[in-house]
Amino acid sequence: MSVTTDWQKSAYISSQAADARVNVELETEGMTLNIGPQHPATHGTLRIVVRLDGEQVVWADPVPGYMHRGHEKLCEVRKYPQVNTLVNRIDWLGSFANEVPFILAAEQLMGIEAPPRAQYIRTIFFEMSRIANIALFLGDMGVQLGAITPVFYAFRDREHVLNLIESATGGRFHPNYDRVGGLKEDLPKGWIDEAKDVMNRVRRFCDELEQLLVGNEIFQKRTRGIGVITPAVALDYGLSGANLRASGVDWDLRRDSESPLAWKHADWKVWTHPDGDSFARYWVRLQETREAAIIIDQLLDSLPAGPIMAKVPVKIKVPEGEAYVETENPLGAMGFYLVSKGDLSPFRVKIRTPSFNNISICPWLLKGVFVPDIITILASLYFILGDIDR
Amino acid sequence: MADETLTADAADAPEEVEVDSARAAVVEALGAQFGDAIVDSHIAKGDLWVRVAPASWAAVVRFCKDVLGFRFFDFLSGLDWLNNPDLSGEKVWDLDAEPTVAEPRILDRGYTGGDTRFQVFCRLINIDTHVGVTLKVDVDEAAPHLDTIVPIFAGADWHERETWEMFGFIFDGHPGLRHLYLPGAFEGFPLRKDFPLLSREIRPWPGLVDKEPMPGENVPESAAEGSLPDGADAALPKDEPKDEPKDEPKDEPKDEPKDEEDSA
Q: Could you report the per-residue pLDDT of A214-262, keeping only the tens digit for each? A: 888 888 888 888 888 999 999 989 899 899 999 988 888 888 888 888 8
| % of chain A exceeding 90 in pLDDT | 22
Q: B62, B158, B200: which to substitute to probe chain A, counting the most A Cβ within 10 Å?
A: B158
Cα A156 → chain centroid: 21
CA nearest A84 in B: which residue? B257
Please check whether residue B107 touches A, CB under 8 A: yes
* CA–CA min distance A14, chain B (Å): 18
Each residue of A132-160: b (16+ CB within 10 Å) or e?
A: bbbbbbbbbbbbbbebeebbebbeebbeb
Q: Name the residue facing A77 among B77, B183, B197 (closest C-beta).
A: B197
Write the DSSP string, A326-344: EEEETTEEEEEEEEE-SSS
Q: Which amino acid is at A129?
A: S
Looking at residue A180, what DSSP letter applies? T
Cα A362 → chain centroid: 16
pLDDT tens string B77-98: 998 888 766 544 445 555 566 5
C-alpha to C-alpha distance for A269 and A292, rounded to whole angstroms: 10
Q: What is the pLDDT of residue A131?
A: 92
- Asked if A148 contacts A141 with a C-beta cutoff of 8 angstroms, the reply is no
The class of domain B14-172 in CATH terms is: alpha beta
Which has the closest alpha carbon to A104: A308, A326, A296?
A: A326
Arch. (CATH architecture) of A71-224+257-273+285-358: Orthogonal Bundle (1.10)
Judged by CB atoms closer than 8 Å, whether chains meet at B111 and A321 is answered as yes
Q: What is the pLDDT of residue A25?
A: 61
pLDDT tens string A94-125: 889 999 999 999 998 888 888 999 999 999 99
Q: What is the pLDDT of residue A42?
A: 63
Listed in sequence order, the residues at least 6 apart from A67 whose beta carbon sits closer than 8 Å to its beta carbon are A44, A45, A385, A386, A389, B263
pLDDT tens string A39-94: 666 677 788 888 888 788 888 888 888 888 888 888 887 888 888 888 888 888 88
| Complex ipTM | 0.84
The rounded mean pLDDT for chain B is 71
Q: What is the pLDDT of residue A121?
A: 92
Q: What is the pLDDT of residue A344?
A: 78
Q: What is the pLDDT of residue B13?
A: 45
Please check whether residue B201 touches A, CB under 8 A: no
C-alpha to C-alpha distance for B90 and B249, rounded to whole angstroms: 11
DSSP bridge partners of A370: A56
pLDDT band (50, 70, 90) for residue B241: very low
Does the structure show a pLDDT above 90 at A284? yes
The rounded mean pLDDT for chain A is 85
* CA–CA min distance A208, chain B (Å): 31
- Asked if A113 contacts A260 with a C-beta cutoff of 8 angstroms, the reply is yes
Q: Which range (A206-220, A273-287, B78-92) has the least confidence? A: B78-92
Listed in sequence order, the residues at least 6 apart from A381 whose beta carbon sits closer than 8 Å to its beta carbon are A227, A243, A281, A358, A359, A361, A362, A365
Max Cα separation, chain A?
A: 73
Does the structure show a pLDDT above 70 at B228? no
A357 to chain B: which residues are within 8 Å by CB?
73, 75, 155, 158
| % of chain A exceeding 70 in pLDDT | 91
Name the burial class of residue A114, with classes exposed (0-12), middle (13-18) and buried (19+) by CB atoms within 10 angstroms of its CB.
buried
Judged by CB atoms closer than 8 Å, whether chains meet at A364 and B154 is answered as yes
DSSP bridge partners of B43: B48
- Angle formed by the axes of helices A149-169 and A191-209, nearest 10°: 160
Max Cα separation, chain B?
A: 73
Q: B65, B75, B83: which to substitute to probe chain A, counting the most A Cβ within 10 Å?
A: B75
pLDDT tens string A171-201: 888 888 888 888 888 888 889 999 999 999 9
Q: Name the residue facing B259 among A82, A348, A363 (closest C-beta).
A: A82
Does the structure show a pLDDT above 90 at B263? no
**How much is the average pLDDT of B233-239?**
43
- What string of H, E and C letters represents the secondary structure of chain B? CHHHHHHHHHHHHHHHHHHHHHHHHHHHHHHHHHHHHEEEEEEECCEEEEEECHHHHHHHHHHHHHCCCCCEEEEEEEEECECCCCCCCCCCCCCCCCCHHHCCCECCCCCCCCCCCEEEEEEEEECCCCEEEEEEEEECCCCCEEECCCCCCCCHHHHHHHHHHHHCCEEECCCCCCCCCCCCCCCCCCCCCCCCCHHHHHCCCHHHHCCCCCCCCCCCHHHHHHCCCCCHHHHHHHHHHHHCHHHCCCCCCCCCCCCCCCCC
* CA–CA min distance A256, chain B (Å): 7
Write the DSSP string, A226-250: SS---HHHHHHTT--THHHHTTT--
Please check whether residue B175 touches A, CB under 8 A: no
pLDDT tens string B99-145: 555 455 566 777 877 778 888 999 999 888 888 899 999 888 888 88
A326 to chain B: which residues are within 8 Å by CB?
74, 132
**How much is the average pLDDT of A151-179?**
88
Listed in sequence order, the residues at least 6 apart from B48 whose beta carbon sits closer than 8 Å to its beta carbon are B23, B26, B27, B41, B42, B131, B132, B133, B134
Which has the closest alpha carbon to A279: A343, A202, A233, A215?
A: A215
Name the burial class of residue A20, with classes exposed (0-12), middle (13-18) and buried (19+) by CB atoms within 10 angstroms of its CB.
exposed
C-alpha to C-alpha distance for A247 and A273, rounded to whole angstroms: 6
- Rounded to 10 degrees, the C-alpha dihedral A279/A283/A288/A290 comes to 150
Domains of chain A, residue spans: 71-224+257-273+285-358
SS3 call for A48? strand
DSSP bridge partners of A182: A179, A309
Domains of chain B, residue spans: 14-172
Q: A2, A3, A4: which to substitute to probe chain B, counting the most B Cβ within 10 Å?
A: A4
pLDDT tens string A331-364: 989 999 999 887 778 888 999 999 999 989 988 8
Q: What is the pLDDT of residue A124?
A: 92
Q: Which range (A136-145, A217-226, B200-209, B219-228) has the least confidence? A: B219-228
B154 to chain A: which residues are within 8 Å by CB?
4, 8, 233, 236-237, 364
